[in-house]
Amino acid sequence: MNITHNKPAGQVHKDVIIVTGSSGLIGRALVKKLTASYQMVGFDRPGPPYPPEEAVCISVDMTNKQSIEEGLADVRSQFGNRITSVVHLAAYYDFSGEPSPLYDALTVQGTKHLLESLQSFEVEQFVFSSSMLIYKPTTPGHPLDETAPLDPAWDYPISKVKTEKIIHEQRGQIPAAILRVAGVYNDQGHSVPIVHQIQRIYEQKLTSHFYSGNIESGNSYVHLEDVVHAIALTIQQRDQLEAEAVFNIGEARSVSYGEIQKMSGNLLYGRDWTTIELPRLLAKAGAYAQDLVSDPFIKPWMIDRADDHYELNIDRARKQLGWQPNHSLPETLPIIIEKLKADPEAWYKANDLELPAHLTEKTTQD
């Protein structure tokens, strides 16, 4: 059963944009940015959290084709047969690295069912949020462009590669734009690896001083506001893009683990943070024995990927979309850590972390 919330009454219809996963971090920000120019429709699983109030919320189970068809029938009854853009953000993601049938049921088959159900509509564009993690890692100074070889190493990026193939095969006459997005963060944090790295240093955990790979290896990141801007430009320029367009969306300069360590230590405690590169076999043994590591976030699969380096060439997005990032992680890290220092409890809550008891007591006393 599909449930509709925030149904407009008697208003002039604007061009319609459907956002799947509209209650998520990117989805919420995108709805709020585009609501002045478009009629925003949020597809999200039944129950809270709901999309922002600016969107018409239609409850859809993306693992169920009938639910998708019912949701689209609701769109047709309210707004007609023409859809300006479908921004497909809904996907399964689990940082534990554990296998799950939802990678196929939600990310891959959900996309297939969505595209099949959209064939009876006049859809101007289908936008898919993919990941830079589908690429074979590179080395510093050798950025990856959109033609770089693919080598997804675990279930999340594997599901993205499979979904890109589904889009190629199932889109029919619907133009598609695939955005291969770097690690997303915002002023509060919200990037799982960055947040946990800061947390380990803030709590002065023993594990904060060890790393199982080359601390000069790093990743490309991208601020939430820049991702949303990239999607908005992709929609605005849909008529100028090729039938299947692929763009890297990230900051051109990658940031190494060591750089984040150094900056975080200085911002939190006024000193560089000593970081020792740990032999991989020893690190993996410790990760399996979590009681010894005392950091359940660190998983064996992360140790296998510790040397991976992702650095993006974003020339295509610059030239074809007129997009470039307006933020950088090194410039934003002081803002993230200032928010942590100002209100640790709120920062931990915003990033779905549990504040340790001794820090709770300290915060109360302060």
Q: Concatenated DSSP letters for 55-120?
A: SEEEE--TT-HHHHHHHHHHHHHHH-SEESEEEE------TT----THIIIIIIHHHHHHHHHHTT
The mean pLDDT of 247-262, rounded to a whole number, is 97
Q: Is residue 323 helix, strand or coil?
A: coil
Residue labelled with tokens 């709770």: 360
What confidence tier does 74 reach under pLDDT thresholds 50, 70, 90? Answer: very high
Could you count the other beta carbons within 10 Å of the beta carbon of residue 11?
7
Q: What percent of the chain has pLDDT over 90?
A: 78
What's the CA gap between 56 and 147, in Å, rounded? 38
The larger pLDDT score, comparing residue 13 to residue 194, is at 194
**Contact 206/297 with Cβ under 8 angstroms?**
no
Residue 35 predicted with pLDDT over 60: yes
The larger pLDDT score, comparing residue 276 to residue 326, is at 326
Q: Give residues with Cβ within 8 angstroms of 306, minimum separation 6.
A: 211, 212, 213, 214, 217, 280, 283
Supply the pLDDT for residue 282: 47
**Candidate from 8-17, 191-200, 207-216, 320-329 with smallest mean pLDDT:** 8-17
The mean pLDDT of 278-289, rounded to a whole number, is 51
**Contact 113/166 with Cβ under 8 angstroms?**
no
H or E segment to which residue 43 belongs:
strand 39-44
What's the CA gap between 260 and 94, in Å, rounded? 23
What's the pLDDT tens digit per position in 236-250?
999 999 999 999 999
Supply the pLDDT for residue 9: 43
What's the pLDDT tens digit per position in 103-124?
999 999 999 999 999 999 999 9
In terms of residues, how long is the chain?
Answer: 366
What confidence tier does 212 reach under pLDDT thresholds 50, 70, 90? Answer: confident
The larger pLDDT score, comparing residue 6 to residue 320, is at 320
Residue 140 predicted with pLDDT over 80: yes
Report in angstroms the alpha-carbon separations of 172 from 114, 167, 168, 176, 231: 12, 9, 8, 10, 22
Q: Give residues with Cβ within 8 angstroms of 296, minimum separation 6.
A: 290
What's the CA gap between 236 and 233, in Å, rounded? 5
The mean pLDDT of 25-50, rounded to a whole number, is 93
What's the CA gap between 203 and 347, in Å, rounded? 13
**Contact 200/260 with Cβ under 8 angstroms?**
no
Residue 60 predicted with pLDDT over 70: yes
Q: Mean pLDDT across the chain, nearest whole number?
A: 89
The mean pLDDT of 159-166, rounded to a whole number, is 98
Side chain identity at 35, as an amino acid letter? T
Could you count the other beta carbons within 10 Å of the beta carbon of residue 105?
15
Residue 182 predicted with pLDDT over 60: yes
The mean pLDDT of 182-201, rounded to a whole number, is 96
What's the CA gap between 129 and 227, in Å, rounded? 10
The larger pLDDT score, comparing residue 9 to residue 174, is at 174
Q: Is residue 247 helix, strand or coil?
A: strand
What confidence tier does 145 reach under pLDDT thresholds 50, 70, 90? Answer: very high
Residue 24 predicted with pLDDT over 90: yes
What's the CA gap between 234 and 181, in Å, rounded? 13
The mean pLDDT of 10-18, rounded to a whole number, is 78
Supply the pLDDT for residue 296: 53
The larger pLDDT score, comparing residue 27 to residue 365, is at 27
